[in-house]
Amino acid sequence: MRKTMMWALVTAATLAAGLGTACSDDSAETSGGGDVCDISCDAVPTFSQLSWNTCTSCHSSDSAVRQAQGVPADSDYSTHASASVRATTVAERVNDTTNPMPPNGSTALTAAEKEAFTKWGCCDAPP
Protein backbone atom coordinates (compact mmCIF):
# COMPACT_ATOMS: atom_id res chain seq x y z
CA MET A 1 0.00 0.00 0.00
CA ARG A 2 2.69 2.42 1.05
CA LYS A 3 4.71 1.63 -2.02
CA THR A 4 1.66 2.25 -4.19
CA MET A 5 1.11 5.65 -2.60
CA MET A 6 4.72 6.63 -3.20
CA TRP A 7 4.45 5.59 -6.79
CA ALA A 8 1.24 7.55 -7.16
CA LEU A 9 2.94 10.65 -5.76
CA VAL A 10 5.98 10.28 -7.96
CA THR A 11 3.80 9.76 -11.01
CA ALA A 12 1.59 12.73 -10.13
CA ALA A 13 4.64 14.93 -9.66
CA THR A 14 6.07 13.79 -12.99
CA LEU A 15 2.76 14.45 -14.71
CA ALA A 16 2.47 17.87 -13.10
CA ALA A 17 5.98 18.75 -14.26
CA GLY A 18 5.22 17.57 -17.78
CA LEU A 19 1.90 19.38 -17.90
CA GLY A 20 3.55 22.70 -17.25
CA THR A 21 5.24 22.30 -20.59
CA ALA A 22 2.27 20.76 -22.38
CA CYS A 23 -0.05 23.60 -21.46
CA SER A 24 2.29 26.44 -22.30
CA ASP A 25 4.13 25.09 -25.32
CA ASP A 26 2.12 23.65 -28.19
CA SER A 27 4.98 23.47 -30.64
CA ALA A 28 6.82 20.29 -29.64
CA GLU A 29 3.98 17.85 -29.03
CA THR A 30 4.16 14.84 -31.28
CA SER A 31 1.78 12.38 -29.60
CA GLY A 32 -0.35 11.72 -26.57
CA GLY A 33 -2.25 14.40 -24.73
CA GLY A 34 -0.45 17.34 -26.29
CA ASP A 35 -3.20 18.61 -28.56
CA VAL A 36 -5.97 17.44 -26.28
CA CYS A 37 -4.38 19.39 -23.44
CA ASP A 38 -3.90 22.55 -25.45
CA ILE A 39 -6.65 24.19 -23.43
CA SER A 40 -6.88 26.89 -20.81
CA CYS A 41 -7.02 25.66 -17.25
CA ASP A 42 -9.76 27.85 -15.85
CA ALA A 43 -12.72 26.57 -13.83
CA VAL A 44 -11.22 23.08 -13.58
CA PRO A 45 -13.73 20.61 -12.12
CA THR A 46 -12.81 18.47 -9.13
CA PHE A 47 -12.72 14.67 -9.12
CA SER A 48 -16.12 14.42 -7.45
CA GLN A 49 -17.77 16.59 -10.10
CA LEU A 50 -16.95 14.19 -12.92
CA SER A 51 -19.24 11.44 -14.24
CA TRP A 52 -17.13 8.51 -13.11
CA ASN A 53 -20.23 6.34 -12.91
CA THR A 54 -19.97 6.23 -16.71
CA CYS A 55 -16.64 4.44 -16.23
CA THR A 56 -16.81 2.38 -13.05
CA SER A 57 -18.99 -0.38 -14.49
CA CYS A 58 -15.67 -1.48 -16.02
CA HIS A 59 -12.99 0.56 -14.20
CA SER A 60 -14.44 -0.74 -10.94
CA SER A 61 -13.14 -0.76 -7.38
CA ASP A 62 -13.69 -4.53 -7.58
CA SER A 63 -10.65 -6.22 -9.09
CA ALA A 64 -12.76 -9.17 -10.27
CA VAL A 65 -14.92 -6.78 -12.31
CA ARG A 66 -11.83 -5.08 -13.75
CA GLN A 67 -10.43 -8.44 -14.79
CA ALA A 68 -13.74 -9.59 -16.28
CA GLN A 69 -14.07 -6.34 -18.25
CA GLY A 70 -10.48 -6.48 -19.48
CA VAL A 71 -9.35 -3.15 -18.07
CA PRO A 72 -5.77 -2.87 -16.76
CA ALA A 73 -5.45 -4.46 -13.32
CA ASP A 74 -4.91 -1.17 -11.49
CA SER A 75 -7.34 0.90 -13.55
CA ASP A 76 -9.78 1.63 -10.72
CA TYR A 77 -11.53 4.98 -11.18
CA SER A 78 -13.52 4.88 -7.96
CA THR A 79 -11.06 7.02 -5.99
CA HIS A 80 -9.08 10.15 -6.76
CA ALA A 81 -5.85 8.40 -5.71
CA SER A 82 -6.18 5.63 -8.28
CA ALA A 83 -7.70 7.72 -11.09
CA SER A 84 -5.37 10.71 -10.86
CA VAL A 85 -2.21 8.71 -11.60
CA ARG A 86 -3.50 8.30 -15.19
CA ALA A 87 -5.11 11.71 -15.53
CA THR A 88 -3.63 12.68 -18.89
CA THR A 89 -4.44 9.24 -20.31
CA VAL A 90 -8.05 9.77 -19.26
CA ALA A 91 -8.09 13.12 -21.07
CA GLU A 92 -6.62 11.48 -24.17
CA ARG A 93 -8.97 8.52 -24.28
CA VAL A 94 -12.22 10.42 -23.78
CA ASN A 95 -11.16 12.45 -26.85
CA ASP A 96 -9.81 9.51 -28.84
CA THR A 97 -12.01 8.98 -31.88
CA THR A 98 -10.51 5.68 -33.00
CA ASN A 99 -10.27 4.06 -29.54
CA PRO A 100 -12.67 6.07 -27.38
CA MET A 101 -13.61 5.82 -23.73
CA PRO A 102 -16.24 4.88 -22.83
CA PRO A 103 -15.92 2.31 -25.65
CA ASN A 104 -18.33 2.42 -28.58
CA GLY A 105 -21.51 0.66 -27.53
CA SER A 106 -21.50 1.93 -23.94
CA THR A 107 -23.16 5.05 -22.65
CA ALA A 108 -21.32 7.96 -24.24
CA LEU A 109 -20.27 11.11 -22.43
CA THR A 110 -22.14 14.32 -23.19
CA ALA A 111 -20.05 17.13 -24.66
CA ALA A 112 -20.05 18.88 -21.28
CA GLU A 113 -18.95 15.71 -19.47
CA LYS A 114 -16.18 15.14 -21.98
CA GLU A 115 -14.95 18.70 -21.54
CA ALA A 116 -14.96 18.24 -17.77
CA PHE A 117 -12.86 15.04 -17.98
CA THR A 118 -10.48 16.77 -20.37
CA LYS A 119 -9.96 19.77 -18.13
CA TRP A 120 -9.56 17.64 -15.04
CA GLY A 121 -7.09 15.28 -16.75
CA CYS A 122 -5.03 18.04 -18.34
CA CYS A 123 -5.08 20.52 -15.47
CA ASP A 124 -3.50 18.73 -12.50
CA ALA A 125 -6.48 16.49 -11.66
CA PRO A 126 -7.77 18.23 -8.54
CA PRO A 127 -9.35 15.98 -5.87
Least Å distance, CB 38 to ligand HEC, is 19
Binding site for ligand HEC (CB under 6 A): 54-55, 57-59, 69-72, 75, 86, 89-90, 93-94, 99, 101-103, 106, 109, 117
Give the CA distances from residue 8 to residues 11, 18, 25, 36, 80, in Å, rounded to whole numbers and listed in that order. 5, 15, 25, 23, 11
Least Å distance, CB 109 to ligand HEC, is 6
Q: Which CB atom, from 54 or from 84, has the smaller least distance to ligand HEC? A: 54
Least Å distance, CB 121 to ligand HEC, is 8
Q: Which CB atom, from 24 or from 105, has the smaller least distance to ligand HEC? A: 105
Q: Which CB atom, from 40 or from 53, has the smaller least distance to ligand HEC? A: 53
Least Å distance, CB 56 to ligand HEC, is 8
Long-range contacts, stretch 36-42, CB < 8 angstroms, 24+ apart: 36/91, 36/92, 36/95, 36/118, 36/122, 37/88, 37/91, 37/118, 37/121, 37/122, 39/118, 39/119, 39/122, 39/123, 41/119, 41/122, 41/123, 41/124
